[in-house]
Amino acid sequence: MADAPELTDIERGLLVGILIGEGHFGGDGRYPQITLRMHVKHAALFDWLQRRFPRARLYGPYNHGGREYYQWMARGDALAEDVLPIVEAVLTEDVDAHVYARMREMRLRYADFFARHAR
């Protein structure tokens, strides 16, 4: 298993803050994922994410309903080994109870997946 990328405290806070405000913690029914969808004007942010999390995937740009956006997804090893450990180290109920609950629900719903990726 790969270790989570080495990030500064500021970078960890930036990642978690973006995911709290704009991210989705869920899955497709079979596999968990964290999804971040934002306007193309945030392309530099998506480039930053890809440099730090190369196993995550960047899709787009898409044009749907007059909106142009990118979609970044952390699934599989990228989610379990790279992104989620950072999120779980920073995100608590005290920080944001709603998003914390969504993260916990994702973990419970996909418990079998996470058990296979336990360190």
Residues of the chain with pLDDT under 50: 1
Whether 14 is in a domain gets the answer yes
Whether 107 is in a domain gets the answer yes
**E strands, 1-119, in order:** 23-27, 32-39, 57-64, 67-75
pLDDT of residue 6: 86
pLDDT of residue 78: 96
41: Cα within 13 Å, side-chain hemisphere: 2
pLDDT of residue 119: 62
pLDDT of residue 2: 53
CA dihedral sign of residues 103, 109, 113, 118: positive
Question: In which domain, by residue range, is 64 found?
Answer: 9-116
- For residues 117 and 111, give the distance between their C-alpha atoms in angstroms, rounded to a whole number: 10
Which CATH number does the domain housing residue 96 bear? 3.10.28.10
Domains of the chain: total: 1
pLDDT of residue 1: 41
CA angle 63, 67, 73 (to 5 degrees): 70
Whether 4 is in a domain gets the answer no
Residue 62 is encoded by which pair of tokens?
A: 């898409």
